[in-house]
Amino acid sequence: MHFIATSLPLFAVASTWVGPLWIVAVGVVIAVAVLAALGVLMRWVAPKVAAVCWTTSKEAMSQPLFYLLLTIGIFALIVFPFVPYNTLGEDIKMVKDEGLTLIMVLSIFLALWTASVSIADEIEGRTALTVLSKPVGRREFIMGKFLGILVPVAVMFIVFGALFLCSLSFKVVYDAREQSGIEPTVENCRIEMLQAAPGLALAFMETVVLASISVAISTRLPMLANLTICAAIYVLGNLMPVLAQTALGQLEYVSFVANLLAAVLPVLDVFNISAAISGGHEVPFMYLAWSALYCVLYTAVAMLLAMLLFEDRDLA
């Protein structure tokens, strides 16, 4: 009887936070199905691009770095709900903010590293010349490399995203039990998960933009220069609205430089709304749609630049 009495509360807790996980399961199935459908479509429409994409993604996911980042992310996302943040009942906000930041940083690092290894190193090692000696054009090579870089990034987002939403659902119940508060319902867990889901989509868009920039840089510069420049772009891109506002009323050349940077560099602050998500605010669908459009347009410009830079690159 004592075992039954102690097991019932645990069962109630498990059923509360496990209940909304069907949303995660459906999301994972949809993401995998979309990824597989895009792969099949690409093989039918552009088989040469698909071949380069498959080779690049397979090489990226066979690297120890991929599994190292995957292990770090999984371990951190499991630990985050149990960390005492001492925020007087606002621990869920910290879990949201730290989880989204971790997923974005690890995915961006994987994308930049893969772009440098699969493009810059292959050009320096003349492996790209061997690939291009086959009936594969330079534009197909660059496009295949870019899409191949996004495949392991998408896989990482699927794994991290599912685990992040599960840990967030658990955190709602865990905090209530720790603080002896009102027992949360399945609806409370579901609301927290749905509020955090747009942050994953925006983080993926930001990673795609930086990956396209890294591909363009990799056609001309080695790994260290690529990582340094992309890190600078990441910092400036997130500070761009502040820099543009600060430049108002300053010297003419200061304002010119600020406006030039704002016109050339991506405004990554558009994708960074972790503060709003952590605060429990809903992200409008139109905001996601406009952000996706900006991501597509800037990525297209960066890929056109990458093709132009690679078109006359001497590979011999």
Tell me the average pLDDT across 27-39: 87
- What would the pLDDT profile of 53-87 be if each residue is shown by its tens digit? 998 899 889 889 999 999 999 999 998 888 776 66
Q: What pLDDT score was predicted for residue 48? A: 86
pTM for this entry: 0.86
Q: What pLDDT score was predicted for residue 25? A: 81
Amino acid type, 285:
F
Mean per-residue pLDDT over the chain, rounded: 81
Tell me the average pLDDT across 222-249: 78
Q: What pLDDT score was predicted for residue 153? A: 94
- What would the pLDDT profile of 242-256 be if each residue is shown by its tens digit? 666 665 556 566 666
- What would the pLDDT profile of 136-181 be if each residue is shown by its tens digit? 788 888 899 999 999 999 999 999 999 998 888 888 777 777 666 6
Query: Residue 260 is encoded by which pair of tokens?
Result: 């030039």
- What would the pLDDT profile of 178-212 be if each residue is shown by its tens digit? 666 677 677 777 788 888 888 899 999 999 999 99
Q: What pLDDT score was predicted for residue 27? A: 82
Q: What pLDDT score was predicted for residue 109? A: 93
Whether 291 has a pLDDT exceeding 70, the answer reads yes
